[in-house]
Structure 1
Amino acid sequence: MQSTTAGEPHNIFVASDHTIAKDKVIALAREMNFESFNAGSIRAARRLETDTKSLFPQWRLPVLVALVILCIWLTYILCMYFIKYGGTSWEQLFLNMVNKALGPSVITMLAIVYMPSNLACIFQLAYATRERRFPTWLDRWMLSRKQLGLLTFALALCHSMFTIILVSPAYFSSWFHRAEIRVSTIHNQTRFVFHDNLMKGTGELAALLGVLTLFCMSILAITSIPAIGNLLNWREWRFIQSKLGTVTLLLAIGHVVTVGIPFWMPQTL
């Protein structure tokens, strides 16, 4: 039996080669208000026992995937800004460069979260049945979507906090209008008048889409907690995790596109 925190159901995984006996045990566990699941043949019993004693077994692969994606994007950003463009100070490595890598990492992770459901539909169409099991790699991928989604939310939260710290014309020059300085001389005294750097329309739109994306991801993360998800019926939970998840992905893509517009079409902005 897998123990859980207070307020959440206890999960029981049943593994056996005897189908009738396994079904009876699952039914008995459900009558006792336990969440019971068919774990397959008796060969899965050793893995189940190992998982209950190991530390975060279901998080190892998702964490590894998140770290690999973040490292790939960070390497790309460093190559672009330090090798191709040049002129970037290493003092900006800890926040600015990492923040630039967090954005595309979140997009990639979101795509990884919602891609297996589409692949599952393709396999079902190819098999012409819903009863046939998916390939092992796809089955494991789908079982890791919750952990991948929570890690995506964590990366998005870090990206938001880093952006709040760094947001200024010095770091986000494409978001702000150029500062205007007027010099006037009165009675042989020079006066400097500075105009505030207001945000451009693209800057405000990018910030708005970023806030909406984080808000939607917060709802997805909260409803993925079993204690919260149990308060929703199946239709409500499916709507949030499926429809709202797709909206979140589109908002995130819109945020990235809006941020990139000044670099793609500098002559029009």
Structure 2
Amino acid sequence: METGHTAWGTANHHRQQEMVDMAETCYESKDCQCQRCPGQGSAAPLKPSTALELRGAPEDTPLFPEWRVPLRVTSALLSVTFIYTFLREVLQPYLALSKNYFYKVPVLVMNKTLPWTSPCWLWSTCQAYWPPCSNSRAWLEGWLCVRKQLGLLSFSLACLHALYSLCYPMRRSYRYRVLNWAYQQVQKNQEDSWVSEDVWRMEIYISLGILSLGLLAVLAVSSLPSVSDRLSWREFTCIQRSVGYMALLLGTAHALVFGWSGWVDPRRYVWYTPPSFILACLLPLAVLLVRAALLPPCLSNRLELIRRGWERPARPTPHSVRNGDGMTGLKL
């Protein structure tokens, strides 16, 4: 019987392998010191620099090997989204309306590029549909091994998105726009500019964003080795599964409420392209829909058994018979 293929087991397997390698390194260093100082009764502890000199520092050690694929995936998503947002928010007004909006690139365009928080849950959802004994299991295991890095990158992007949003009132362009709005209100002889719909929309999506960021912080803290080593498999799975998908759900709701009625507003579809927040919601919605399809008990119970190591018993062939000792053999 095989053990359940989980991120907790994969991460612990690699940590245990690192501990074994470290133990072997310390053992070899201790032997080297004992050989150099045979007259001493006990070997004194070695400094790290001395251990490296005795054993030899590796020359071709790869730099951050576990972060290469997550960084490439995240960089590709951010690059595509940045170019798409730049074309819509800056280049289209410049070419069609002769308006210079290039000042939006450092803050506004960057802020619309950051909210990508679902790639780490995409591979765990695909795992439920993937045959556990297929030839591509090693490929899927490789993706699951970098799910921690994808989650930390998602948390960092969410933090940057929150910081960029807090900087909106600090910009000089925003202050000029507020003055223009006040002047236009005076010209229209309008005493009150309160719009209840906009007020409720902003209050709701800010609250959802804060809640999502808080849950992502819990996930980031629980992924630290000093914390995850003290969690059991059940506790780790509960945090990653329940809290993780709740954070994804709140983040998706945050983007949906931000868009509000912009989904059906023709003015938002510049050059017949959807707004940026629609693109930011496509991947999270796909993950949530696939996850919702696995919620029925007929599927969720079977997946839970598979995670715990259950395997479907092999069906007997028509030519197989059971011997007297209970063993199955071939019929001659």
TM surpasses 0.5: yes
Counterpart of 2:146? 144
Counterpart of 2:237? 238
Counterpart of 2:15? 11
Q: Name stretches of at least 5 consecutive residues in structure 1 with no aligned partner.
A: 1-7, 15-24, 30-48, 125-129, 172-177, 184-191
Counterpart of 1:210? 209
Counterpart of 2:71? 63
Structure of larger gyration radius = 2
Describe the SS at the equivalent of 2:17: strand
> 2 CA distance for matches of 1:60 and 1:51?
19
> 2 CA distance for matches of 1:263 and 1:195?
21
Counterpart of 2:81? 73
Aligned residues: 207
Contact 1:150 1:221 in 2 (8 A): yes
Q: Deviations over 1:1-56 (max 9, x none)?
A: xxxxxxx9993539xxxxxxxxxx99x99xxxxxxxxxxxxxxxxxxx98992221
Counterpart of 2:319? none
Question: Which protein has greater RCO, CA pairs closer than 8 Å, 6+ apart?
Answer: 2
Describe the SS at the equivalent of 1:13: helix
The reply on whether 1:123 has 2:123 as its aligned counterpart is: no
The reply on whether 1:96 has 2:108 as its aligned counterpart is: yes
> 2 CA distance for matches of 1:119 and 1:181?
53
Q: Deviations over 1:175-207 (max 9, x none)?
A: xxx869569xxxxxxxx9787899610001110
Letter of the 1:62 counterpart: P
Q: Deviations over 1:193-246 (max 9, x none)?
A: 787899610001110011011000000000000101122222111111011111
> 2 CA distance for matches of 1:75 and 1:253?
22
Taking structure 1 as reference, are residues 226 and 133 closer, same or farther at Cα in structure 2, changes over 3 Å only? farther
Deviation at 1:144, TM superposition (A): 0.8
Decide which structure has greater strand share: 1
Describe the SS at the equivalent of 1:53: coil
Letter of the 2:254 counterpart: H
Letter of the 2:82 counterpart: L
Q: Which residue of 154, 159, 167 maps to 1:157?
A: 159
> 1 CA distance for matches of 2:136 and 2:14?
26
Q: Name stretches of at least 5 consecutive residues in structure 2 with no aligned partner.
A: 1-11, 25-56, 175-180, 267-332
Contact 1:120 1:134 in 2 (8 A): no
Letter of the 1:76 counterpart: Y
CA RMSD in angstroms comes to 3.8
> 2 CA distance for matches of 1:167 and 1:240?
36
Identity of aligned residues (%): 26
Taking structure 1 as reference, are residues 263 and 131 closer, same or farther at Cα in structure 2, changes over 3 Å only? closer
